[in-house]
Amino acid sequence: MTRPAPPGQAGDDGESTIELPADVSHDIGRFFDAAGNLSRKGIISGPHYTLEISCYVCSKLYGIELIPYRQRTDHDGTLDNRRVIIRFMNCPHNRPLRIPDPGPAHKRSYDLLFAVLGPRCSLRPSEGNSLLIYRFQAEQVPEEMQRNGEIFEAGGDFFRNRTSDTEVHLG
């Protein structure tokens, strides 16, 4: 597996494509297929299992040091001493991705946001059996995303009009 190029140093289109080890990619792809089937049958509905996969993938690709799941409070991990949150969406029903307010510059709850769109997510600019990862600085959240009460939201038009930083193909 290779690590993505720094922003602005990726391929001509600004996006880098990452391949996970074949066995991991295959297992994650099968997992998303099974999760979709279980969701359609009404057996599961929450995003926590897929959020954990997204955290794992981001940690491996970007070198994020994750905080153990049950010990997390306002962020998921750190990268170069910066607090990171990872948000995941795989909903096929055009619901926006909900993102916490990072807070004022002098006391931010996080510094970096990684937004991950799964293979079934209606917010994706195109269909595909992959994870699309978008990286944002905390100050971009209030500048570019729509406020909805205490949180910010990013809908389909937000993601359709930008290129992902990284695409991870699933088996």
Q: Which residue has the tokens 């510094």?
A: 111
Handedness of CA 88, 93, 94, 98 (dihedral sign): negative
Q: Are 2 and 18 in contact (CB under 8 A)?
A: yes
Q: Which residue has the tokens 């978008």?
A: 134
Q: Which residue has the tokens 């600004």?
A: 14
Structural domains of the chain in order of their starting residue, each with its CATH number:
16-169 (3.40.210)
- Measure CA 148 to chain center: 20
Q: CA–CA separation, 16 vs 19, rounded Å? A: 10
Q: Which residues pair with 165 in a beta bridge?
A: none
51-55, 97-101, 127-131: range with lowest mean pLDDT:
51-55
Mean pLDDT of the chain: 85
Q: pLDDT tens digit string along 57-115? A: 999 899 999 998 778 888 999 999 999 999 999 888 889 999 999 999 888 999 999 99
